[in-house]
């Protein structure tokens, strides 16, 4: 899966399609600029470290 700039997410596309925000339970989208998974509904960016999404609210950054 790629973002609007065409950058490919380091997360497996199959897994990315199944991941949801732990706060809102809405789908996440990849943002290559931030190298993070974004929850537009919660206004949070979850980091991806070594290809592993870190879906902990305490690790998320407000967008």
- Indicate left, alpha or beta for 59 from its phi (over 0: left) and psi (-120 to 50: alpha): alpha
Question: Whole-number mean pLDDT of the chain?
Answer: 88
pLDDT digits (tens, 9 = 90+) for 41-59: 999 999 999 889 999 999 9
The pLDDT value given to residue 3: 52
As a 3-state breakdown, the chain gives helix, strand, coil percent values, each rounded to 5, of: 15, 35, 50
The pLDDT value given to residue 6: 52
- For residue 8, pLDDT over 80 is answered with no
pLDDT digits (tens, 9 = 90+) for 19-44: 999 999 999 999 989 999 999 999 99
């Amino acid at each position: 899966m790629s973002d609007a700039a065409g950058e490919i997410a380091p997360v497996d596309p199959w897994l990315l399609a199944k991941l949801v925000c732990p706060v809102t339970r809405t789908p996440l989208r990849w943002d290559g600029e931030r190298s993070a998974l974004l929850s537009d509904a919660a206004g949070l960016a979850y980091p991806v470290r070594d290809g592993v999404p870190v879906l902990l609210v305490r690790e998320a950054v407000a967008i």
